[in-house]
Chain A
Amino acid sequence: MRRSASARIGIGFAAFAISAWSFFPIYWMIVSSLRSQQELFTRPTLLPSSFSLESYQQLLEVTDYPQQFRNSIVVALAVVAITLVASIIIAYAVTRFRVPFKLMIVGSMLYAYMFPPMLLAIPLYGIFVSLGIADSLLALVIAHCTLTLPLGVWLLWGFFKSMPFELEEAAMVDGCTRLGSFVRVVLPLSLPGIVTVAIFAFLLSWTDYTYALVMISSDTQKTLPVGLASMVGSFELRWGEVMAGATLIALPLFLIFTLLSRYFIQGLAAGATKG
């Protein structure tokens, strides 16, 4: 359909407004992290007049940020690994075997969506204290898995359900064991679902603030979100360093999104987030 010039201009303007609304705070975060310290505390200008990596240097040399970056990576990878293994097996068994209370199991996974964070965090912290693992990365990994596991099972259940059973049967008729057909047929075919689960488990763990706030108190065990937030208000406010830290947390997420946006959108459509 052909549009009038005024309609085209209107749409163009609206598209620009959406981009500005969505991107400006992100732009401001990145630009602020790249300004020199003096320039930050003068009247702000939209375009930076100087370029400096001072804030990044300070952040990486003076603060616990590098340690916290490592903590975040370790926790996120452990969460992804546990989530993948457990949810693949549960989802597969629920769709392929005669499991009693099948619907109840899957339904309860959905129910876990509704738990208020404190309903899990308060008792979990109590349990970790009595086990003697409070304030450790292990505690955080377990806490994150309470979020990612139900999500993973729910997503993969949808995937495995729609995959025709005949494919595996054919493989088994041809002499594959069930385990063999699972590894050679089911896993490769459901790779998109598995990648989606991995992305969202990583995303949930990497961005989590609430659970880390509850579980972790010592600086060396903190993950990035809590570590960065505690920089504000601890000593004199260094916005340059804070924005540098914020940019570095966001960077991996932007990378994942650019490289794997197909899976990201797919996961969103299947309800893969919790926030």
Chain B
Amino acid sequence: MPSRYDWVIWTVFWSGLALTALFVGGPVLDALWLSLHQASSFIAEPRFVGLANYGRVVVDPEFWRAMGNGLFYALTSIGLQVVLGIAFALVLNQTFPAQRLVRGLATLPYLLPTVVVALTFQWLSDGSVGLVTVLMRDLGFGTIPWFEQPWTARMSVVLASVWLWTPFVTICVLAGLQTIPPALYEAARVDGAGPVALFWHVTLPQLKPVLTVVVLLRGIWMFNKFDIIWLLTKGGPLGATEHLPIMAYKRAFSLFDVGGGAAVATLSFLMLSIVVTIYLRLFPLEEKR
């Protein structure tokens, strides 16, 4: 039904859409353009070099190490988040006193800005008076240099990420648990299923649609995550926690290799798109309702 004021909405709509395209699409196209150019800073005149930046990046062993670090970080932190998140949700789905309070507390970490989490974890593991440091010393482990050795640094980054982002999985799985019809459990119990069998044969299959989405989203985010690693280790020690986002940042903003940074960012996006496409083939998202 046409209306006199349609043109107002139309004008605003197209200008809004154009603005969004400009805001989001513009930079991405510009990144592609930059990745084909060589520029020694953001004010220097870029020189067209074709695919040379990509060639340079792909033969760089640092790129493949960053790729490996990123995969390790993403896979371990997603795995732990999903396992812990399901476990937490199973507990929170029971009835117990102060259930609402505990559910609220379990959500809190997810609200915190990454900076707050990174600083609090650094304070907890402060080399001289950090609580964890003191506890470890009392227990006889000595002073553990959390962020100075490759493997402890990797584990610390994973631990902080798991603490911060598990609530997302908990909340989604909890919502999923509440949609499972109780009749399913009763039927399985009549057939003599114990708690473990109930979990494997009723709960998990029923959670599959939720988990498919949760793993996809968490996977995308953990692969792209920049801030927590940068804040905790800056990619160190000796590049042990440097993954593709950090590599792209360092190239563009510390080494002033703008084209190289853009090439790393573009390549990591391409790889992510390929993995996501394969994932969606393997686990098609079921249309709700």
**B-binding residues in A (CB < 8 A):** 8, 11-12, 14-15, 18-19, 21-23, 25-26, 28-29, 32, 40-44, 85-86, 89-90, 92-93, 97, 99, 105, 108, 112-127, 129, 134, 142, 145-146, 149-150, 153, 169, 172, 177-179, 182, 203, 206-207, 209-210, 213-214, 224-226, 228-229, 232, 237, 239, 242-243, 246, 249-250, 253-254, 257-258, 261, 265, 268-269, 271, 273-275
Contacts and interface: CB of A to CB of B under 8 A. Distances in A.
Contact of A149 (B20, B116, B163): B20
Contacts of B149: none
B40 interface: no
A118 B252 contact: yes
Contacts of A116: 223-224, 244-245, 248, 265, 268-269, 272
A249 B116 contact: yes
Contacts of B96: 8, 11-12, 15
B: contact size bracket: 35 or more
A150 B273 contact: no
A226 B231 CA distance: 10
B109 A117 contact: no
Contact of B30 (A123, A203, A269): A123
A120 B224 contact: no
Contact of A246 (B88, B120, B130, B248): B120
Nearest to B170: A18
Nearest to B131: A44
B117 A18 contact: no
A246 B20 contact: no
Given A210-B226, A226-B115, A269-B171, 20 more contacts: A8-B96, A15-B91, A22-B105, A22-B107, A23-B108, A26-B112, A114-B272, A116-B272, A118-B264, A119-B269, A122-B261, A122-B265, A123-B262, A153-B20, A225-B114, A228-B115, A229-B231, A237-B126, A243-B123, A271-B217
Contacts of A26: 108-109, 112, 120
A267 B276 CA distance: 23
Nearest to A124: B27
B28 A22 contact: no
A119 B108 CA distance: 30
A217 to B, nearest CB: 10
A18 B105 contact: yes
A117 B163 CA distance: 22
A122 B91 contact: no
A206 B116 CA distance: 12
Nearest to B31: A123
A225 B102 contact: no
B102 A18 contact: yes
Given A15-B96, A19-B102, A120 B28 contact: yes
B197 interface: no
B118 A41 contact: no
A14 B23 contact: no
A122 B226 contact: no
Interface stretch (B9-17, B48-56, B59-67): B9-17
B24 A149 contact: yes
B126 A239 contact: yes
Interface string B24-37: 11111011011000
Contact of B248 (A12, A93, A118): A118
Interface string B244-277: 1100110011000010011011101100110010
Contacts of B114: 207, 209, 225, 275
A116 B262 CA distance: 11
A263 to B, nearest CB: 13
A26 B104 CA distance: 13
Question: In this complex, which of A97, A119, A225, A226 has the most chain B Cβ atoms within 10 angstroms of its Cβ?
Answer: A119
Contacts of A119: 27-28, 31, 248, 262, 265-266, 268-269
Interface in B135-168: 163, 165, 167-168
26 contacts: A11-B91, A14-B91, A18-B91, A41-B129, A114-B273, A115-B28, A116-B224, A116-B244, A116-B248, A118-B252, A118-B261, A119-B269, A122-B258, A124-B27, A125-B252, A145-B23, A207-B113, A209-B115, A225-B113, A225-B115, A242-B119, A243-B119, A246-B119, A253-B112, A254-B111, A273-B168
B281 interface: no
